A and B are shown apart, each in its own frame.
Chain A
């Protein structure tokens, strides 16, 4: 049942990438380059009690507060990209060829330690192909990454 939910979330992401903020509507915050949904304003006072509004999420079993966290950390590249704000950080890391977001992406795609710097370099060299415009969606980025990796001798085995 959870898997079905995850699959639905992924399909939803690819079919309606521009209608729904990554992670689900009402989830996350901030002005993102790649997805047009302004988030929940941070209630400054919430800082005091480190509050969560409404139901507390609890890893996979949540989804009740509008945040789709199911499968978010299940080591799958696209679900990572679909999280709010991650795409932007990945783009920044890809532009320069290094960073934590890129590491997380390569780990989530199962790329072994010795191939990671090659992956980083490849992503940097193909930044323009992977991020063709500011209107690109997470699903498109994932497709572009896959396409680039398929053309690469070392990395083709991962896709």
Chain B
């Protein structure tokens, strides 16, 4: 029956396009509309990413763009075809290509038309909430697409297109992570007011947001929105590493502008920052805007106060009647206003996740009223920020030479991702380290090339404390490394710690208590645990980044070990750095010193 209808349609239109059907199925926009993988990721190559029968009109539509095209022609051609209301972008594509002329093709689609009237845009903006200290789960950032209805700066009225996994709350955390990584959740597009995203990222999670206006014209934006409707309630697979939020947004841009070249290269992982880079390199980014988090705004205000004013602002936050006191009144109104702003932002910040209480609401309101009575304060100029896409590449290769004891060695390192405390921190959060999958091979005079270290994960968050913010500093790392156990052996370890960090000008000291679990072939127990401490100091100046520090551990089998390091890295260019390191490793009664000079090259 369907076949017969298809034949009729084919015959009817045959002169115009019968021969071009295959060409049409290969059209970049048709393939973009079906989300055919052009070879950008390993799974589902040359078939559709969409994992949902509702998205296809042909039985083998996911595998066969031509079959889907034929079925779409059949379904969309008749006047008032119900399928038009589901696939307006497909209809538009076919109508344009096949010269279908219907002045009001969607007149029967009340729901779509209502939605489309509410969701319209003059500008598309890629939004990148950067990572924030103290949440490794945010470490790679996220991207979403904003649709601005006007050009009037009223971004609170904009829509946000977000792609994320649809999860169930019952799952426990570990299972959740596993399924998130392994593709166990369906991914869906959703559309929410952008203001909700600002609240989530900027207010609740203290993440700075970067916003990139895209060079898409009205027509291209309309393609994107029309197609978005086709994705309503449609399931994709969600894979954390490659088929994630960022990748899906690139697909949307591909619908807007087919042949943009964004999906040409095969990737194993799509880092949001690389998405921004890709768009930038294709010339699609016209403007960049930095939206500091609420925490950064508080910090910018408190930076404008001196120590006494800060103490007074802190007191004001606890008790707004401090504003009546003589020592507060003694300040000029402008300074009073700065203190009031700081106090207000502090109260809102520290209570951002708490339940509403009359006390906090009352204090907040009293401070707002105080701000209102005092002269206006210019918003602090946002601190000079290097946008994340201008940071160094996410992968790294390094070559090093050095000496350990009396042995010379040569070394080669590869790191999949991403940044350590000594790497060039332009475009990165200072005090944050995220490393995953690093491997180091070392060859010495006396020994052939051997595994020196395998870092599975190393996350460090050294967040400075001040009067208004008291974050925890912590770290966790694990993998294989060389350590002293009778002799220098490859040991398997997991280590972590927590403590505090402070900022004194360019200096950042830190102090952490730490614990270690280790397995090696010398110690009798399968797993030997130990406890200890770690202290150090970071110093940053221009292209130079210094770190001096030491850590020591006592183990339950009475072994004692410590390691002290002095290291410095000079950023040669964005993608290259030179690092020198002196390390003293000691154990009961003896020790060894190592010196190393390393050239680091970042890419991707």
Q: Which residues of A contact B (CB under 8 A)?
A: 2, 28-38, 41-61, 67, 69, 71-75, 80, 83-86, 88, 91-92, 94-98, 100-101, 103-104, 107-108, 113, 124, 127-128, 131, 133-134
Contacts and interface: CB of A to CB of B under 8 A. Distances in A.
Contacts of B137: 44-45, 47-48
A56 B166 contact: yes
B353 A57 contact: no
B168 A56 contact: no
Given A2-B114, A108-B154, A45 B176 contact: yes
A60 B166 CA distance: 19
Interface string B231-265: 01100001010001100000000000000000000
Contact of B190 (A41, A56, A96, A134): A56
A52 B188 contact: yes
Contacts of A58: 115, 189-191, 232-233
Given A32-B361, A38-B355, A103-B153, 11 more contacts: A42-B204, A45-B177, A47-B135, A47-B142, A51-B167, A58-B189, A59-B115, A73-B157, A80-B157, A86-B156, A95-B372
Given A31-B354, A49-B167, A108-B157, A134 B199 contact: no
Nearest to A90: B156
A123 to B, nearest CB: 10
B159 A59 contact: yes
Interface in B184-236: 185, 187-193, 195-196, 199-200, 203-205, 232-233
B232 A61 contact: yes
A54 B158 CA distance: 23
B369 A128 contact: yes
A33 B361 contact: yes
A48 B240 contact: yes
A96 B372 contact: yes
Contacts of A128: 369, 372
A29 B208 CA distance: 19
Nearest to B232: A58
Interface of B: 111, 114-115, 118-119, 135, 137-138, 142, 149-150, 152-159, 162-169, 173, 176-177, 180, 185, 187-193, 195-196, 199-200, 203-205, 232-233, 238, 240, 244-245, 344, 348, 351-358, 360-362, 364-365, 368-369, 371-372, 376-377
25 contacts: A28-B199, A29-B204, A30-B204, A31-B357, A33-B368, A42-B200, A47-B135, A49-B185, A50-B163, A51-B180, A52-B188, A53-B166, A54-B166, A59-B118, A59-B191, A80-B156, A84-B199, A88-B348, A100-B154, A103-B152, A103-B156, A104-B154, A107-B157, A131-B365, A131-B368
Nearest to B142: A50
A96 B371 contact: yes
B159 A30 contact: no
Contacts of A107: 150, 152, 154, 157
Main secondary structure of the interface of A (DSSP, over half): loop
Given A31-B355, A42-B200, A80-B157, A48 B205 contact: no
Contact of A49 (B119, B154, B165, B196): B165
Contacts, number: 201
Nearest to A108: B157
B368 A30 contact: no
Nearest to A91: B368
Nearest to B370: A95
Contacts of A33: 348, 356, 360-361, 364-365, 368
Contacts of B360: 31, 33
A30 B233 contact: no
Given A58-B190, A73-B118, A42 B166 contact: no
A67 to B, nearest CB: 8
A46 B201 CA distance: 12
Contacts of A48: 137, 176-177, 180, 240
Contacts of A35: 356
Contacts of A95: 368-369, 371-372
Contact of B164 (A30, A38, A52): A52
A7 B466 CA distance: 48
Nearest to B172: A45
Contacts of B188: 52, 56
Nearest to B203: A30
A29 B355 CA distance: 10
A73 B190 contact: no
A111 B119 CA distance: 21
B164 A72 contact: no
A61 B58 CA distance: 27
Contacts of A104: 154-157, 195
Contact of A73 (B111, B159, B167, B372): B159
A74 B376 CA distance: 31
B35 to A, nearest CB: 17
Contacts of A92: 344, 368
A137 to B, nearest CB: 13
A94 B218 CA distance: 34
B204 A75 contact: no
A55 B189 CA distance: 11
A109 to B, nearest CB: 11
Given A60-B119, A134-B362, A86 B154 contact: no
